[in-house]
Amino acid sequence: MAVVGVGIDVVEIERFELALERSPGFLERVFTPAERELGHASLAARWAAKEALAKALGAPSGMSWQDCQVVRELNGRPVFEMWGTVGERAAALGIASVHLSLTHDAGLASAVVVAES
């Protein structure tokens, strides 16, 4: 396996909450129905994850944030589910696996993504 892309992103949770208040449509535009059930800190971490994934994929235009979501495996490990525009981009790059790490603490949420072929 070879690393195809790496992405990292950090989100200030309070600023993220203000963005949700100012732009209520942001929630529906960016997050899947399952993700919208989560609290703000978890949503901020997932926003960081989607941004980090976009960076790992080369930040192409035209990807829909609705075409991926972060879910937890039974052991609690966060993983991406990808389809549509995001899945197509990953396939075009020959990505076989995506590693994701999330955290939120001290008012910040962050994510790191490593995409491998």
Per-residue model confidence as pLDDT tens digits over 88-103:
999 999 999 999 999 9
Q: How far is Cα 116 from Cα 28, in angstroms, rounded to an integer? A: 30
Q: How far is Cα 53 from Cα 4, in angstroms, rounded to an integer? A: 12
Q: Residue 31 gets which letter from DSSP?
A: S
pLDDT at residue number 112: 98
Q: Is the pTM of this model over 0.75?
A: yes
Domains of the chain, by residue range, sit at: 3-116
Per-residue model confidence as pLDDT tens digits over 42-60:
999 999 999 999 999 998 8
CATH of domain 3-116: 3.90.470.20
Quote the mean pLDDT of the chain.
96
